[in-house]
Structure 1
Amino acid sequence: MNIKKYIKSLVCITVLSFSFSCTEDLNIIPNDDQTTLSQDLFENESAYKEVLAGVYANFSLTGTDGAGSSNLQGIDAGTSQYGRVLLYLQTLSADQMIWSYENDPGTREIQRSIWTAQNPLILGMFERARASVNFANNFLNETTEEKLNERNVSQATRDEIVTYRAEARLIRAIAYYHLMDLFGKAPFADETTQINSNPNEILRPELFNYIESELLAIESDLPDPRGNEYGRADKAVAWMVLAKMYLNAKVYIDQDRYTECITYCNRIINGGYSLATNYLHNFMGDNNTNSARNEIIFPLISDGFSVQNFGPTTVMVNGEVGSLEKNGLSLGVSEAGWGGALRVRKQFADLFNGGVFLTDTRNTLITQDRNVNITDISDRDQGYVITKYSNLSSTGATGSSTTFVDTDFPLFRLADVYLMYGEAVLRGGTGGTTTQAIDYVNALRTRANNPEMITTPDFTLDFILDERSRELHWEGHRRQDLIRFNKFTGGNYNWAWKGNASNGISISSHLNVYPIPTTSLASNPNLNQNSGY
C-alpha cells in the first residue's frame, strides 16, 4: 500500500462513513449519503488495510469532497488541516514566521501572542487531533478478536491485523502527544470508552504515562525501522515520539529524562537512516523518492493530484512567493503564488548573519531590495522571504499541480534526532558523548556546505537552540523548543510582534499551553479550562 497514491479513494469509502457511528461527539459527518455499514464493508478482508489507510488520512485530508471540504461540522478545512494547524501553533506563534493576511481567521492572534479560547485555529487543532484518536479507536473496536471470529477472518489476515492495530495505536499516541504538548491535557478516550459518552479529562502526568506505556507496548508489533511501506509508521516513529517526550519531560512532568532520550536517539540513528545528500531534498516535491527518503522518518502525505489539501507544504510553497519577486515558477507554483503571504521575522534572519552562512544551503533567504524589519505586517514588501520548500522535484520537474503541492511534510527526520542527541548530552544525559554529538552537528553543517565546523568550546545549549532553528525552521518545532529553553513566555527573549508589539514584549507564562477551545468545553462538561484563560 503506497498511502501517497491510495489514501484519497480509501478515505471516502471507509473511515469517514464507517467511523460516523462512534464519533458523533465530534460531529464528524460524511459528505455524501453513500454510507457503508460495517458488516458490508468487511466482507472483503482487504477492507482492514483500507480502513487503516483512512486512519492515516486524517493527518492529510479534511473531508471527502476536495481540499476545501471538512468532515468536522462547523470547522472549515483551512482551520483544521492537521499539519497546517500544527504548523501555525508551533511555528507561527514563535520567532520564525509571519503571515501577511491577518484577516484569515485566527492568524493575527496566533502570531501576535494574543490568542483566546475562541481562536478557530486552536479549535481546529484540538478537534482534528481528537478525530485521529477516535478514528484509531474505531479501527481498534472493529478488529477485536471477537469481531474477527464473527467474520471468520483468515489467519493470514489476522496476522497482518496485529501490525495494523499497532499502527493505529501509534497514530493515536501521536495525536495524544500533540494534545499533551499544545494543551497540557486531553479528553481521554480509548477503544473501551462508551460510544457517544463525554470523555474524562486527563492531565499531563497521566497522559505522559499513557503515551509512554502505549508506545512501549506496541513496539514488538511494529515493523523494524524503514521496514514498512512509505507513509506508514514503524518502530522508529514510536522511538521518535518517545525521544521527543523524554527531551521535553522536564516541561511535561518535571523530570529529567535525558538519558532515555539518548537511548532512543541511538536506536533511531542505528535504524538504517542517513542524511539526504542535499538538505533541500527534504522539502521538494519528490521527497518521497529522492535522497530524503533515507532521512525522513515519518511524513504527512501531500500530493497535488490524489491527496490535495491546504496543508502545511501547500501553504508554505505558495506563501513563500515574494510580493516583489513573483518567484513562484522557480518553486513550482504559479508566478505570483499567494502574493507574499509568508515572510520571516528579523530574529530568524539574524541567525544566518555572517560569512559562514553565505554558502549554507539552509540559508534560503531572499534579502535583495528588502528590509529585514517588519513594522507593518500588512506591508508584504517588508521583511525577508525564504524558499526552503518547493513543488519541484530534485531533477527540476514541476509537481502534478501548481496549486496543491506534491511535497510531503517531514514531521520527523534524522537531522532532528542528531540535534536532540546533542542537547540531551549537554543537559547531562548518559549513554552519549560530546564528541559524538559534535560529529552529528558537523555532519549537518557539512551537508549544508557550511565551512565552519563546531568544536567543544562552541558546543553549548544556546548554540543548539540556534542550530535547531537553522536546521529545522518551518518544520513545526520552534514553540516547543523555546518553551524547553524558557524563552517562549516571559521576557528572556523577545521577537518581532511577540505580545503584539513590533519589537516584542514579555508575555504571561500561562501562554505556554493553549486554551481548551470554548466550543469543546461547551460540548463536554468533563473538561476544564487551562489556568489564565
Structure 2
Amino acid sequence: MKNKINKLIFIVAISLGITSCHDDLDQSPIDPDSFTEQDVFTDATSAKGALAKLYASLALTGQNGGDDGAADIADINQGFSQYTRMLFNLNELTTDHAVVGWGDPGLPDLHGMYWSASNDFSGAMYLRLAQEVSFCNSFILQASSLSEPEVEGFIAEARFLRAFAYYNLIDLFANVPLLTEITTELPVQSSRTDLFNFVETELLEIQDLLPNSQANEYGRVDRIAAMALLSKLYLNAEVWTGTPRYDDCVTFSNNVMNSSYTLHTSDLNGNGTAYDELFLADNDTNGAQNEFIFPIAFDGVQTATYGGSTFLIHGATGGTMDPSTLGINGGWGGYRTTKAMVEKFESPAIDLASLNSSLGGTPSDWGLVGDATENSWDGPDMEMFETSTNVFELYAQLSDGEMKFRFNEDWGNNYGDDGVDGVVEADGANISVTAGTYLINFDLNNFTYSLTIVPPPADKRGMFYTDGQNLEIAAIPPFKEGYAVTKFKNIDVNGNIGNDSSGEFTDTDLPMIRLAEIYLNYAEATLRGGGGDANLALSVINELRERAYGDASGNISSGELTLDFILDERSRELYWEGQRRTDLIRFNKFTSGDYLWPYKGNQPNGVSAGAFRNIFPIPNNTILTNPNLEQNQGY
C-alpha cells in the first residue's frame, strides 16, 4: 500500500505543475503546459490521483524530487522547505530538544529565539501550509462535480488535510485568513477562535464520511484520524481560545484508544524494547503501522526529498558516528540535543524487594557476610532464599570489598573461594567484589557460586550517541557539543538499508499522530479536570513505560502521575516528532523563566523570552501584499 500511494504521489507531483505563488492562503492553478485541473478531474480514478498531490504536498517540495526539481515555494532552498523539516525547525529546534551548528540565515535565530518577520523558515512554513489549503480548496471544488460514490470519501480526506493545515496555522501563526474556496479577492484576517471553530466543525462533519478505522490505504486518513486531530485540538483549546475543552479531549482520546489502532509492542530486533522500531525504514510493515494514525510516507526511490526522515537522519549524524549503522551514506553534522533533554531519561532505583520476591524461594539460614555487605563482618548476615534444593539466591546491593557465604551467622560453617574460579571451599578465601547490584547464586549441590551484575532500569527511548560528544554545550557550532540523537534510522528490523542502495534518501515514515500521543493526551486532559478515569490514565502511561523499559521496572504510581510528569513523559516519548514547542506553550514554559535550557534566549544558561514569541509572525512579504492583514503583536 505504501508503494502504491508513493507512486501516485510521484506521478501526480509531476503531472500537476503547480506554480510557486501562494500568497495569502490563495493561489492560482497551474502551468498551461501541464495538465489542467479539468483534465485531472474526469472520473473517480483520476480524482484519486489528484488526491495524492494533497498528501504529496506534505512530503515533497517540488515536481522532480530531491533538491533539483521545480520547487513549489520560491526564495528558500528547496530541501529546507519540506513540511516536516520546517515543523522540526519551528517546533523542536526552538526548544530544549535540539540545537544546530549550521549558520544558514534565519536558522540560528530559531534556537536563540530572536527570529523576525523576515525569517526564511517561518515564512516558508506559512507558504507551505497556505499551499496545502489552496490545493485542498481546489480539489474539493473540482471533485464536487463528480458523481461516483467514492468521491465523497476523497473530499472528506481533502477536508481533513485542509483542517490539518489550519491546525498547524493556528498553532504557529494564530491569526490567518480562513479560505475555503479559490478567490481573487485579498482575504481578510480571521481570529484564532474562528479558525479553531472551523477546524472543529470540519472534523466533526467528516468523521463519519471517512473510512472506518484502518480501512483506508496506509498513509491515508480514516475516521479515527479525525477523532485524533480533535483530541489534539481540544487539548490546546484553552491556550488558543481561552476556553478549556479538556472534557472533549478526554472523550475523543477515549474514542481513539478504543479503536483498532494498537500500541506497537513486538520487539522484533530483540534489543529489549519495541519503541525503536517505530522509527526504522520498515515502519510501514514491521507492526509500527498499527500505531500510526496519520503518517507521512517516504520512500528513498519513489519520493526522494532532502526533507523528511532524510533530513532527520543525515542532519543528526556527524563526529565519530558511523553513518552506515544508520543506513545512510554520510552525515551532515548539524543537529544535536541539549543536556536538559538528555536528563529527562531518568534511571529509577532498582527495586530489590520486588526482584527478591520474584525469585519465588523461601528464606534460609544461608547468608552473605563481609564488608561488601550492608552489615559488614559483624552481621547480621544478608539472608538468601532457597530457590531449589540446596540452591540459594539473593538480589543485593554490594559495596567495594569482600564477602563470604555463612550459615546461621556461624563462622564454623562458611565458604569462600581459594582459586577465584567460582568454586567454593569450606573456610575458603574472602571473595572480592566491586560495587554494584548483583544476582548472587550459591549452589551447594556443586559447590559453585556466581555474581551476575544487574543493570539499573533504563528508559530505552533515550537513543543518543555520546562517543566524542559533550553533554554540556560550550558553543553551538561544533558538532561535538551536545549528544547526537539516533532515534531515526534508515535500516529495517534486520539491519538492512532502505530502498535507495546509495544511502542518500531514506524510507523511514514520520508519524504526525500516533496512538501513544493520544494516551498522553488522555492522561493530561484527565489531570487538568477533563473528567477522565484516573486509573485508566495511569494504566496507559504505564503501558508506554513498559514498552520503554522492556518490563515493569519503570512503572509509576498514581501519586507520581502529575502534570509536570506528563510534560516530561511527552518529551521522552515524542522527542523530535514536532510536538515540543506546542507542549511547552501549553505548560507556560516556552518563553517564561520557569524552565530554562542551554541557549534559550541565545544565552548559554538560558533566559526567558518575550511572551509574544509563543506564536510566529505573519511573513513580511505577505503583510506588504495584503493591507487587510495585521502583524502579530511584537513583530
Please confirm whether the aligned pair reaches a TM-score higher than 0.5, indicating the same fold: yes
Pair 1:349 & 2:349 matched: no
Whole-angstrom CA distance in 2 between matches of 1:45 and 1:365: 47
Q: CA RMSD in A?
A: 2.0
Cα distance change, pair 183–452 in 1 and its aligned pair in 2 (3 A): same
Question: What secondary structure, in the 3-state scheme, does the structure 1 residue paired with 2:224 have?
Answer: helix
Counterpart residue identity of residue 9, structure 2 = I
Counterpart residue identity of residue 120, structure 1 = D
Structure-1 residue corresponding to 2:6: 4
Of 188, 200, 207, the residue aligned with 2:195 is: 207
Offset of 1:240 from its aligned partner?
1.4
Whole-angstrom CA distance in 2 between matches of 1:40 and 1:423: 48
Q: Is the 8 A contact 1:90 1:478 kept in 2?
A: yes
Offset of 1:78 from its aligned partner?
2.8
Cα distance change, pair 377–132 in 1 and its aligned pair in 2 (3 A): same
Whole-angstrom CA distance in 2 between matches of 1:21 and 1:46: 28
Counterpart residue identity of residue 67, structure 1 = G
| Aligned pairs for 1:51-200 within 5 A | 51-68=50-67, 69=69, 70-101=71-102, 103-144=103-144, 147-148=145-146, 155=147, 158-191=148-181, 193-194=182-183, 196-200=184-188
Offset of 1:236 from its aligned partner?
1.3
Whole-angstrom CA distance in 1 between matches of 2:557 and 2:38: 63
Question: What secondary structure, in the 3-state scheme, does the structure 2 residue paired with 1:138 have?
Answer: helix
Offset of 1:355 from its aligned partner?
5.2
Pair 1:265 & 2:258 matched: no
Offset of 1:25 from its aligned partner?
7.4
Cα distance change, pair 23–12 in 1 and its aligned pair in 2 (3 A): farther
Offset of 1:218 from its aligned partner?
1.1
Whole-angstrom CA distance in 2 between matches of 1:66 and 1:273: 32
Offset of 1:531 from its aligned partner?
0.4
Q: Is the 8 A contact 2:327 2:498 kept in 1?
A: yes
Q: Is the 8 A contact 1:111 1:498 kept in 2?
A: yes
Cα distance change, pair 34–312 in 1 and its aligned pair in 2 (3 A): same
Cα distance change, pair 23–119 in 1 and its aligned pair in 2 (3 A): closer
Q: Is the 8 A contact 1:299 1:411 kept in 2?
A: yes
Deviates most, 274-283 or 176-185: 274-283
Counterpart residue identity of residue 557, structure 2 = T
Question: What secondary structure, in the 3-state scheme, does the structure 2 residue paired with 1:64 have?
Answer: coil
Of 536, 539, 548, the residue aligned with 1:436 is: 536
Offset of 1:371 from its aligned partner?
2.0
Q: 1:246-282, CA deviations, whole angstroms, 9 ceiling, x for partnerless residues?
A: 1111100111111100100011111111111211111
Unmatched 5+ residue regions in structure 1? 149-154
Q: Which has the higher strand share?
A: 2
Q: Is the 8 A contact 1:105 1:121 kept in 2?
A: no
Offset of 1:314 from its aligned partner?
1.2
| Aligned pairs for 1:357-376 within 5 A | 359-376=458-475
Q: Which has the higher helix share?
A: 1
Cα distance change, pair 23–493 in 1 and its aligned pair in 2 (3 A): closer
Pair 1:315 & 2:303 matched: no
Q: Is the 8 A contact 1:26 1:127 kept in 2?
A: no
Counterpart residue identity of residue 83, structure 1 = T
Whole-angstrom CA distance in 1 between matches of 2:8 and 2:566: 39
Q: 1:291-313, CA deviations, whole angstroms, 9 ceiling, x for partnerless residues?
A: 10110111112110011112231
Structure 1 runs of 4+ with >4 Å offset: 19-30, 355-358
Question: How many residue pairs are counted as aligned between the two chains?
Answer: 513
Of 473, 476, 480, the residue aligned with 1:377 is: 476
Q: Is the 8 A contact 2:591 2:608 kept in 1?
A: yes
Unmatched 5+ residue regions in structure 2? 266-273, 350-455
Offset of 1:27 from its aligned partner?
6.5
| Aligned pairs for 1:406-417 within 5 A | 406-417=507-518
Q: 1:95-134, CA deviations, whole angstroms, 9 ceiling, x for partnerless residues?
A: 1111111x22321001111110010000111000000000
Offset of 1:241 from its aligned partner?
1.3
Q: Is the 8 A contact 1:23 1:134 kept in 2?
A: no
Question: What secondary structure, in the 3-state scheme, does the structure 1 residue paired with 2:92 have?
Answer: helix
Cα distance change, pair 327–22 in 1 and its aligned pair in 2 (3 A): closer
Structure-2 residue corresponding to 1:404: 505
Pair 1:392 & 2:392 matched: no
Offset of 1:45 from its aligned partner?
4.3
Question: What secondary structure, in the 3-state scheme, does the structure 2 residue paired with 1:223 have?
Answer: coil
TM-score of the superposed pair, with normalisation by structure 1: 0.92
Structure-1 residue corresponding to 2:622: 520
Counterpart residue identity of residue 12, structure 1 = I
| Aligned pairs for 1:468-483 within 5 A | 468-483=570-585
TM-score of the superposed pair, with normalisation by structure 2: 0.78
Whole-angstrom CA distance in 2 between matches of 1:286 and 1:95: 29
Offset of 1:74 from its aligned partner?
2.7
Whole-angstrom CA distance in 1 between matches of 2:575 and 2:566: 13
Q: 1:357-381, CA deviations, whole angstroms, 9 ceiling, x for partnerless residues?
A: 7532201122244321112111111
Cα distance change, pair 190–33 in 1 and its aligned pair in 2 (3 A): closer
Q: Is the 8 A contact 2:44 2:150 kept in 1?
A: no
